[in-house]
Structure 1
Amino acid sequence: MAKKGILLINLGSPRSTDVKDVKEYLDEFLMDEKVIDYRWIFRALLVRGIILNTRPAKSAEAYKTVWTEEGSPLIVITRKIQKKLQEVVDVPVEIGMRYAEPSIETGIRRLVEKGVSEIVLFPLYPQYAMSTTETVIEKAEEVRKKKFPGLKIKYIQPFYHRDIYINCLAESIREKLPESFDALMFSYHGVPERHIYKTDPTKTCNMNDCCYKEVNPSHQFCYRHQCFSTTERVIRKLGLPEEKVMVSFQSRLGKDKWIEPYTDQTLETVPAKGIKNLAVVCPAFVSDCLETLEEISVEGKEQFLGAGGEHFYYIPCLNDDDRWIDVIRTLCEEKLSQFYLV
């Protein structure tokens, strides 16, 4: 029988906090046409002509605030997930990053060197987006066709709505929520509005009420809908009233319109509305990283408190929580079993 393996994919991180390494990482990341979806010449002018001349130094300083003795938090946490998962499954487990090392190609090669010919590839993103799930699958297919043509890969689909994930996320939030809070903010990574339309092959999305319809053809491709759906399912599980919950979108880049409301603007306005004690969770991420540890728990906290807030509580990602490892194991084993059905 063919030997099987699991490849966990996360975003990636610079090799170090050195400006040169950060610049190299940002170049690969931002030059991805699934991230900044301009024609190559305009993307290059923006990224290499403007962004990479100013942003790397600032980003390097931000990375220094979250870097650990072991390295990048995202890489360290993903390796911990790999180790824990390997202890509960009987097939080899490797990791790969969409950007920088260990790359997707590196992860695949390590599995192939162990004799693996059938891989379950798991993009560690609960919701589907062009700049996350789609670019991972596209890159993996590119590598497979060029370097490993005999390899079979099955991809785990977005799991934002799966009960095992919702239960896990809800319990993690419940344990970390303060006894007293005025509101719980779900801050998701933002994307440009045009990405929502581009990823909708059904052309039924109107960026308005369709996200809230029980059934709509675009839901399986709509990041915005999937974020709202995750929130709705979690607050139902937690038994929270809707008036104590907010949804916002962070990390926007450039002047294009991104999906709203924006996290930074929300943090600056809600204290005036009587929300003085705020808890924030970031369910677009399963591993804590720069966007959660620095952008939210440091910058976001400063924005909120500076606007008159009194207490700010950041709720960590699932990271290597044993319940989350069990979710990963279950989803992987479901997909592994499909190889036997071919």
Structure 2
Amino acid sequence: MFKKDLRRWLLAMLSMLVVGSAVVAAEKPNVVILATGGTIAGAGADATNSATYQAAKVPVDKLIAGIPQLKTIAEVRGEQVFQIASESFTNDNLVTLGKRVAALVKQGDVDGVVITHGTDTLEETAYFLNLVVRTDKPIVLVGSMRPGTAMSADGMLNLYNAVSVAASKDARGKGVLVTMNDEINSGRDVSKMVNLRTEAFKSPWGALGMVVEGKNYWFRLPAKRHTNNSEFDIEKIDTLPSVEIAYGSGNASDTAYRAFAAKGAKAIIHAGTGNGSVSSAVVPSLQELRGKGIQIIRSSHVNAGGFVLRNAEQPDDKYDWVVAHDLNPQKARILAAVALSKTQDSKELQRIFWEY
């Protein structure tokens, strides 16, 4: 009798352990990794090649398989959306990726999305998604400055951290994030400030937080409108209008501005010096182009923290121009393209630049 009771007890304990393990497994968050190529999927000829390599070579399944520790923090699956170097990212690529992310975050079995991306235009894609995907679920972009074949490769830890952040409940509602070099930055603010080194991505206003050994530490929150609070929706955007960037400098001419206008640009971002300054040789042409319906948006190419004040340097009210606030030229291009899908009114565009 005693042996039978002991056996029943042992079977009951074993059953509880099995059920308990299943519950723990079921409670692990589900993260989808969308791969688009870039250095994080790159390969060099030798372990010493940290700057000379071919980008977009390694498929997403291999990236995931190379980090078995991912299984301890989330149920992870991958999709290969593109396999390209990010300098070749087009508006059509942005829209395709945005629609896929939006579809995934609507699924009950997806708790977060990670996007592996080349670093050259990672900040542009992050900001685009921040504007057009309506969700409070974490969306995290990640790349690497060195290929996985290099002895100093940073992609493995970057991707582990990105999945950890995407799987975290405390990352919800903070907009699209960029996780690299142990930092968590807002996709709205962050930019690639330096090449060749792993600490390449910085925000002029500071990181939102850090991730250390799978744990998030937050220091500030985004102040601008994003994701769930955005008036834009990727489901209503199928194409983006042409917006071009013309670089201001000493001895600048109007050649680039006129060429972009002739090619059908709906807006031109003036990447000006200092406070978005415009050369006296260029001002008349920009006035003329604005008169033809092309939006003129003054930005600054100051590397970290360029801030353009309205009606400073140029009489924006008089010329009916828009200022980009603190957005760098490439981010201003993204916002202008998204905004122009909704309005052509310059006053509305200026409101949008203040709010986003």
**TM-based fold match above 0.5:** no
Normalising TM by the smaller chain, what interval?
A: under 0.3
**Higher helix content, 1 or 2:** 1
TM-score by length of 2: 0.24
Which structure carries more relative contact order (alpha carbon 8 Å, separation 6+)? 1
